[in-house]
Homo-oligomer: A and B are copies of this chain.
Amino acid sequence: MNKAANANRGPAIADGELRPDSSLSPEAVRALIRAGRYTGATSGLAPGYVQGNLVILPRDVAGDFLAFAQQNPKPCPVIGMSETGSARVPTLGATIDLRTDLPRYRVWKHGELIAEVSDILSYWRDDLVSFVIGCSFSFEEALIEDGIPLRHVSCGANVAMYRTNIACAPAGAFAGPMVVSMRPLKPADAIRAIQITSRFPAVHGAPVHIGKPEQIGIEDISKPDYGDPVEVKDDELPVFWACGVTPQAVIGAAKPAFAITHYPGSMLITDKRNSQLSAF
C-alpha cells in the first residue's frame, strides 16, 4: 500500500491501523509509518529515543523563524534542521525522510489550516526549510525513570498548556507570548524535576516558573488553553515549563504564505537517544 494514496484521509486513525510494537527501533517504526500503516500518535513508540516537533517553512521566512528560535531557546529548541529543499536531517537519523516519516501532518496557507494528511509528497517544494524542535517527551521519560509521577501521563491525558504573559523575543513576523506546560508536583519532586530537566536544555530545559500561576498571567489553572485540565492537589506546586506549542502559536499568528507542521502528538521519531540530549 502506497502511503501517498492515503494522503487525504485526514486526522482520524484508520480502522485496523497497525500499532507498532514498542520494541521496534526508530528506523523500523518510521518504515511502518512511511508505508502508510500507522497514522496515530507517537507517544510510547521507540521508547528511549528523541521525538521532535516539525516546522517546515519557505526559505524567505525560515531565516526569521530561526532567529526567533535562537532568541527563544526554551520554548523553541531547534534540535535539527534541513538544507533548503531537502527532506533529510542526517544529524537525527540517516534514513529520515520528513515527507513521509511522520504519521500525520498539517498544511497551512496564510495561517489557515488547509489539509491534514499522512504524507506531504504532493505539497513538497524546493524552497522549503525544515526544523525539528525538541519535545517534552524526552524530559518526561527522564522524570518517570527517576520515579517522579506525572499525573497527565498516568491519566492518559494530554499535558495542560497555558498562554502566559511572558513575551517571546520577536524576530520578523514571528512574535507572541510563551506557551507553557504545567505538571503538578510535590515540593521535593519539583526540586528533583528542576535538577533533571536542567540537564536537557535541548528539550525546554528547566522550568520557567513554579507556584503562583497568576504571576505569569494564568487566571484559572483548571482551564488550560491547550491540552487537558489536570488537578493540582493541596500538597503540590504547579511547575511550568516552556512548551513547544509556542512556535506553533507564533506561526499561526505570523500567517506565513505556506507552512507544514506535524499533527499534534504525531511526532518525528529520531535515531537519537534521549540520554544523548543531556548536557551533562
Contact = CB atoms under 8 A, between A and B. Distances in A.
Contact of A209 (B188, B210, B211): B188
The SS class assigned to the A binding surface is mixed
B235 A212 contact: yes
A11 to B, nearest CB: 36
The range of chain A's interface size is: 10 to 19
Copies in the complex: 2
Interface in A169-195: 187-188, 190-191, 194-195
A231 to B, nearest CB: 16
Interface of A: 187-188, 190-191, 194-195, 198, 206-212, 215, 235, 237, 280
29 contacts: A187-B209, A187-B210, A187-B211, A187-B212, A187-B215, A188-B208, A188-B209, A190-B210, A191-B194, A191-B206, A191-B207, A191-B208, A191-B209, A191-B210, A194-B194, A194-B195, A195-B195, A195-B198, A195-B206, A198-B198, A210-B210, A210-B211, A210-B237, A211-B211, A211-B237, A212-B235, A212-B237, A215-B235, A280-B280
